[in-house]
């Protein structure tokens, strides 16, 4: 049963994930490295000299925790936790 009376089958489910200690609602079943970084840092820091590291726990299926690198995607699950750190490469 749906909790929302006006849900339509074509609409995706909202997932609540935690990014750097903040609860965030996302509606996609998969997020990319870049999308997770954007959730953590809506205003990107420093020019092109910043390297981001994304780690996660409480994930889906056979890989409940790990690290994402640029270009990778991860399946989203309610309660998943992401930690995103920014490092200046200079």
pTM: predicted TM-score of the whole model, two decimal places = 0.80
Task: For residue range 31-42, list pLDDT tens digits in order.
Answer: 999 999 999 998
Q: What is the pLDDT of residues 42-59, one digit of tens each?
A: 886 666 788 899 999 999
Whether the predicted pLDDT of 90 surpasses 80:
no
**Residue 28: predicted pLDDT:** 93
CA distance 36 to 29: 13
Alpha-carbon gap, residue 15 to 34, rounded angstroms: 18
In the prediction, which pLDDT does 88 show?
A: 83
Could you give the CA distance from residue 53 to residue 37 in angstroms, rounded to a whole number? 9
The domain over range 15-88 is classified in CATH as 1.10.530: no
pLDDT at residue 2 in the model: 43
pLDDT, residue 4, reads: 47
């Amino acid at each position: 049963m749906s909790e929302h009376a006006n849900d339509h089958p074509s609409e995706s489910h909202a997932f609540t994930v935690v990014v750097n200690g903040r609860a965030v609602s996302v509606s996609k079943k998969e997020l990319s490295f870049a999308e997770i970084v954007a959730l953590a840092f809506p205003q990107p820091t420093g020019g092109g000299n910043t390297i981001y590291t994304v780690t996660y726990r409480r994930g889906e299926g056979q890989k409940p925790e790990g690290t994402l690198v640029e270009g990778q995607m991860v399946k989203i699950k309610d309660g998943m936790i992401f930690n995103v750190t920014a490092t200046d490469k200079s």
